[in-house]
Structure 1
Amino acid sequence: MGPEDRLTAEQRRRVDELCGRWEARAADPDRRDAERALAELYDHRGWERPKAVIWLESPLAGAIAARTLFYGHRYLDGDLQLEAHRTWMSATTARLERTFGRKEPDSFEENEPAAARWRLPDVRSAHNLSYDLDEPDLAAVLRRVGEPAWAINSGVAPWFQQEALSPAAPERFAAVGAGVHALLLRALEPVFPAGEWGTVGAALRSCADAPHTGDWKQWRQVWGAVRAPENHATLILEAVRGGKAGKSGPLQARLRLAPAVGWWWALNDIALLTPPPAEVHTDDSGRLHREDGPAVRYEGGFAQHCWRGQPVPSDLIDPGWSAADIAYASDEELRQRAVREFGTASYAAVLSAENVAPDLRRCALERLGWPRFAAEAPLAAVAGPVADPGDPGCELALYDVPATVFGCEARVVVRTGGARHGAALPVPPDATDPVDAAAWLGDATRPPSPEPELLTRIRQSEPLRDELARLDFEMSHPSHLEPVEELHLLGGARLEPIGGHGTGGTYFLCGDGPRRPVLYADSEGGYQILGRDLTEALEFMVSAEPAGDDPEEEDTEAAEALGVRPLSPEEYRKRLDEAEALAGALILVMTAEGNAYEYRRQTWFRC
């Protein structure tokens, strides 16, 4: 625990105790104790305990079981089975505690456990907690127990949802369904009166013979009733902090339930539980990642391969795509490889169809490694190799990168030998010297360039900040300086947020080099380069757009105050072309999910 932690010594001791219990339970889940904890949660709600608790091997198996229980009554034989119909409907009604449009309860205790929406929320928003992920207390607990990357990752939950609606492997789906219905026939008999079981069993067998895909409204109901996995770090912290929620039996029961349970369904007389994955692999940043196999694997044979948080086809990892695939295969060919594995609907949910090929190429390239890619593609050498003056034993080589790789022209400096062997930096397409190119965004072996003098002046002058605000570049409000999601530049150069836009976008200085390009990232997954330095960016921003239905006028007042001049229409168009030429050298990537932002020739605008 760090000096900023607000927990007392006794609370820190309690954190250690609960983390130790969690680790022991997660290493060896106790399903019987989880079922007892589930019964206690039913008790707390004033519900009768479930008559049957059924464990399914994966969320897909759980979803098939839930759909059968929600809609299987339709296979009962006519009006003669009215009592069986009533029993079925009563036993299989989902216990829902919040719905679309309903205000969230204020109390942690009242809000949990809560049914998730059609699109599964990540665990951080599922519980309506007020914790900031940067809060020292929560960070301290996360350092000890981590968080369930398989639950918060954007790919895993939609993958199961879409696999139910439109299976990529129908034979596997049918096999899972057959196993689910055989299990239901064994497990549900205690739920129904003996006189009704014969007709209920016949209906279950009819369900097993019926197609399991189809009506999206049914699957929506199934996923609308699912309960998201718990974030154990927030549970532990809530228990340690005490108060009404911390002392409550339900919270303690959830601490026992969560290590053994992933996604699950609470019905009147039946609970459907699925375990966490059998295997989960992450990188140092906690993203789903594995270099030689699936990052997530369930016992039922479901496995998802991921590269730094990005879901990818299995053959991209094992055996890996060749340099020729990465450099020269068409976008459509790579998209079809993904579709064959994930299925059209599934893949559309997991990755953006527009950006799928560049994202997959980038993941495959990182797995293969730049030195090997340069040799095997082969890449056209521009200059080098030459010795790196700042890294003994390292050589720098400058190559042309085929436009298919990044979706635009670019060059790359590749390091071989030295402390950063294998590292590569995309650079502008007009770069000619490997040493200069390697330092265009700064050099880790040298002190960073000082903050641009113009930026320092603006920070220290309220009138200048007001002029920037007229251009919709807000520097004074702290919330504007936090991007919507964590981003990084391909190649690892630093991004420094320096301002916010009224629409939710963020302005960044790139790297620590002598000029520091300015990049604008909007809130919709697009970005634009505004200039090679702050002065160029401000010149662009005060200028009039030369075309459009409702062109802006240049802001001469802001230009004069900031000490920059508006561009002529010809200069404006040339500046757009020059900025777009840098797109391959300044590729913006969402850190958590691994998807690249889309370069847009003009996404910045003045409100």
Structure 2
Amino acid sequence: MQLTHEQEAMAAAVEDQWLATALETGPADRAAAEEGVRVSYRLAGLEPPTRIYWFGSPRAAAVAVALLTGVSVPSSSGVSPSSGVLSSSSGPGSADGETLPEWFGGVVAELRRQGWQTGETAGASVRRQVRTEPWAAARAAAAAELGAEGWAQLGSAAGRRSWGLAMDRVAGRLRLRLGEDLIAGLPADLGKAVRSRLLDAIYGQFDGAWLGTFDAAGRLSPQAGSESPQAGPGSLETESESLEAGSGSLETGSGLSQDGSGAGLAGLAAVARQAGWWWAHERVAVLSERPALLARDNVGRLHRGEGAAMEFTDGYGLWAWRGMPIPPELAAELPTLTLDRIQAEENAEIRRVMLEHFGYERYLQEAGARQLGSDETGTLWYLDLPGDEPLVMVEVVNSTPEPDGTSRVYWLRVPPDTRTARAGVAWTFGLTEEEYHPLVQT
């Protein structure tokens, strides 16, 4: 099957809707999300969880999952397992080094508030049954219905942009930073145990990056994605009434609705419309809220000059500069950077963040960069950076004046072996110096 231009346009429109879901912020409709959880279990042939817990961030949810799956709190940590309260004798710098942060005690207390009793466990993870197998079945059905060419064409039309923008640039960065924060913020064994629970996470709203492809497949063909990993009581028809109610229900006629296509994904889609990361276990499901704030730059990377680029309601946040997660203390330091502070930084990636915030032009001037030459395209500057590759940049003046008559200056970082401004400008276009022959210089 080969998609027509109209079908590709439809698929792209579906992707836009799911991309908006993946990047949504604000409180969940918890009732709708919980119903989606129950549908996911039933479609997988499982009994729904007996209890569903909610937390303000994936960090808190991961800790809750660890506690619900048997990870013990160090007795010397200052946290009372029965109450979740930090004892008065605990505090930073305890002799045994096992003191836990205040937010950890808050997670224990929140579990208690929601009804957790000592000895209650979540059971084994059922992520494979709830998420992995339905995805594989839907993919196999869609590929069989659309053919290899049609499936590849659909994936390009309805999934390529959203995967890069939602999973690579947001969810992937969050996962990386969260894992590092858990290791750095908790005692060694406990931090590793909690981080390992990230392997069982279902990405909730960020699954919109691939749900859109199956949604579009179902709209193209009623049979595409119709396979469910379990038959019988897990079929979509038995859940249609519950999915029709509430703001979190799936739209009638969509590729993931009660028309029969994408049946095994209907519950996952309902959760994705409302919640952030979540965990599915035999007896318990743990859900987290979506971010309260999500700041990105003009190309979709996590970015915010002051404050966290991603903020959650319980205080957890991710600081990022043009897509790179950075420590909160660095974010606080950026407005007051000095040349000496940048030069003293040993971490090359962090130093690059500092350089971008400080400004390359200012840094080159203050650090005494050497001019390698100039031509009709611009001026080439060179500066050694200790512990990193040299900083080589082309200073380019826009030939089109601004409304006030001034000409804007741009700085282009180029490979360290660049030796002429023309070669540097050509490199930014993927050309060699000999191939670069612009008709109009803008």
What TM-score does the superposition give when structure 1 sets the normalisation length?
0.46
Deviations along 1:7-43, one digit per CA (max 9) or x if unpaired, are 278x559838965994897666322111111111122
Change (3 A) 1:306 1:97: closer
What secondary structure, in the 3-state scheme, does the structure 1 residue paired with 2:290 have? coil
Q: Give the corresponding residue for 1:265.
A: 279
Aligned position for 2:66: 67
Match of 1:278 in 2: 292
2:201 to 206, 209, 226: 226
Aligned twin of 2:122 = 92
The change in CA–CA distance for 1:321 and 1:363 in structure 2 (over 3 A counts) is farther
Q: 1:413 aligns with which of 366, 387, 394?
A: 394
Q: Does the C-alpha gap of structure 1 residues 323 and 512 become closer, same or farther in structure 2, counting only changes over 3 Å?
A: farther
**Pick from 352, 357, 368: which aligns with 1:367?**
357
Instruction: Quote the offset at 1:134 in angstroms.
Output: 9.2
Residue aligned with 1:403, SS: coil
Q: Alignment partner for residue 157 of structure 1, among 168, 171, 175?
A: 175
Unaligned 5+ segments in structure 2 are 76-80, 83-116, 141-149, 219-223, 228-254, 256-260, 401-407, 437-442
Q: Does 1:402 align with 2:384?
A: yes
Asked whether the 8 Å contact 2:27–2:290 carries over to 1, the reply is no
Q: C-alpha offsets along residues 112-154 of structure 1, whole Å, 9 cap, x if unaligned?
A: 9xxxxxxxxxxxxxxxxx97699442258749x953556532x
CA distance in 2, matches of 1:364, 1:157: 23
Match for residue 320 of structure 2 among 282, 296, 306? 306
Kindly report which structure 2 residues correspond to 1:96-245, keeping only aligned pairs within 5 A, or say none: 96-98=126-128, 108-109=136-137, 135-139=155-159, 142=162, 147-148=166-167, 151-153=170-172, 155-167=173-185, 214-215=189-190, 218-219=193-194, 222-229=197-204, 230-242=206-218, 243=224, 244-245=226-227
RMSD of equivalent CA atoms: 4.4
Distance in structure 1 (CA, Å) of the matches to 2:262 and 2:418: 65
C-alpha distance in structure 1 between counterparts of 2:313 and 2:160, whole Å: 32
* Partner SS, residue 55 of structure 1: strand
Instruction: Work out the CA distance in 2 between the residues paired with 1:4 and 1:324.
Output: 56
Amino acid aligned to 2:287: L
- What is the alpha-carbon distance in structure 2 between the residues aligned to residue 224 and residue 253 of structure 1? 20
1:147 alignment partner AA? A
Q: CA–CA distance in 2 between the matches of 1:430 and 1:164?
A: 41
SS at match of 2:302: coil
Alignment correspondent of 1:504: none
Q: Identity, % of aligned pairs?
A: 20
Query: Which 5+ residue runs of structure 1 have no aligned equivalent?
Result: 78-86, 113-129, 171-211, 332-356, 391-395, 432-436, 444-491, 496-510, 517-607
Q: Secondary structure at the match of 1:214?
A: helix
- Sort the Cα spacing of 1:255 and 1:141 in 2 relative to 1 into closer, same or farther, 3 A: farther
Task: Please give the residue correspondences for 1:410-489 in structure 2 after superposition, counting only pairs within 5 Å.
Answer: 411-415=392-396, 418=399, 421-426=409-414, 431=419, 437-443=420-426
Q: Is the 8 A contact 1:381 1:397 kept in 2?
A: no
- Report how many residues are paired: 336
- Within 5 A, what are the aligned runs for 1:573-592? none
* 1:372 maps to amino acid: R
When residues 41 and 89 of structure 1 are mapped into structure 2, their CA distance, relative to the original with a 3 A threshold, is farther
* Partner Cα distance (1:421, 1:165) in 2: 43
Larger radius of gyration between Structure 1 and Structure 2: 1
Shift of 1:326: 6.2
Determine the structure 2 residue equivalent to 1:189: none
TM-superposed deviation, 1:232: 0.8
Given residue 189 of structure 2, which amino acid in structure 1 is its aligned partner? G
Q: 1:300 Cα shift?
A: 1.9
Deviations 1:329-356 (A, max 9, x none): 152xxxxxxxxxxxxxxxxxxxxxxxxx
Residue 322 (structure 1) aligned with residue 337 (structure 2): yes
TM-score (norm 2): 0.61
Displacement after TM superposition at 1:109 (Å): 4.2
Question: How far does residue 403 in structure 1 lie from its aligned partner after superposition?
Answer: 3.0
Give the letter for the 1:403 counterpart.
Answer: L
Counterpart amino acid of residue 157 in structure 2:
D
Alpha-carbon contact 1:26-1:259 (below 8 Å) kept: no
**Counterpart Cα distance in 1 of 2:320 and 2:15:** 32
Q: Say yes or no: does 1:287 pair with 2:301.
A: yes
CA contact (8 A) 1:370 1:414 kept: no
Q: SS of the residue aligned with 2:166? A: coil
- Closer, same or farther: CA 148–94 of 1 in aligned 2, 3 Å: same
* Contact 1:379/1:399 (<8 A) preserved: no
Q: Secondary structure at the match of 2:325?
A: strand
**Relative to 1, partners in 2 of residues 1:277 and 1:233: Cα closer, same or farther, differing over 3 Å?**
same
CA distance in 2, matches of 1:20, 1:222: 26
Equivalent AA in structure 1 for residue 158 of structure 2: L
Q: 1:423, CA displacement in angstroms?
A: 1.4
**401 and 323 in structure 1: CA distance in 2 versus 1, 3 angstrom threshold:** farther
C-alpha spacing 1:381/1:57, structure 2 compared with 1 (3 Å): same
Distance in 2 between the 1:291 and 1:236 partners? Answer: 32
CA distance in 2, matches of 1:131, 1:105: 19
The answer as to whether partners of 2:68 and 2:120 remain within 8 angstroms in 1 is: no
Question: For 1:147, what is the secondary structure of its paired residue?
Answer: helix
SS at match of 1:294: coil
